[in-house]
Each structure stands twice: as C-alpha cells, then as structure tokens.
C-alpha cells in the first residue's frame, strides 16, 4: 500500500469536502472488493508455505518423526501436527 498526496490525485472540491470531516490526517481508502488479493498472492508466500507443508507431509510419510520435522523446519510439534492433519484431508 502506498500513500499518495490527495492534491495530486483528487479534485479540489472533493479535497475540501473531505477536509470538512478529517482535516490534515491520514485516511485509508479500501480497495474495491473485486480488486482484493488473497493473503500471500502478491509475494508468493502462500505457494512457499504450501510447498513446505507438502515436504513436511512427504517426509512424515517416509518415517521422519514429528519432533525431528519440527526442529528441521523451525516449528513447534503442535504446528507440525496441524499441518499433517490438513494435508491428510
């Protein structure tokens, strides 16, 4: 999210109307619903986590114990169990 100076993007009459409600403060304007992106969609975070979780599941199926997986991926055993449960679905 970037900040834009309202003077550069909005007409003067709209700026004056906004100033009647909020003068000199930051104002967040949300995206339109159809333009919203899902979590991790822009940064590939979701894809990286999905790949990590698939690797954890594969290693578990090959016999790697949960505590070892937790240490290897810097997760708690409880988190590994959650990942395994989701991957089994």
Alpha-carbon gap, residue 15 to 50, rounded angstroms: 44
**Chain segment 37-58, per-residue pLDDT in tens:** 777 677 788 889 999 999 999 9
DSSP annotation of 27 = -
Alpha-carbon gap, residue 57 to 52, rounded angstroms: 9
**Chain segment 6-28, per-residue pLDDT in tens:** 999 999 999 999 999 998 888 88
Written as one string, the DSSP assignment of 69-83 is: HHHHTT--HHHHHHH
Considering the entire predicted model, what is its pTM? 0.58
């Amino acid at each position: 999210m970037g900040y834009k100076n309202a003077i550069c993007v909005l007409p003067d009459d709209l700026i004056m109307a906004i100033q009647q409600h909020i003068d000199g403060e930051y104002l967040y304007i949300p995206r339109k619903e159809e333009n919203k992106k899902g979590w991790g969609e822009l940064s590939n975070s979701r894809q990286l986590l999905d790949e990590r979780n698939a690797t954890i599941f594969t290693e578990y199926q090959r016999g790697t114990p949960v505590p070892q997986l937790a240490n290897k991926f810097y997760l708690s055993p409880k988190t590994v169990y959650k990942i395994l449960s989701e991957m089994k679905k």
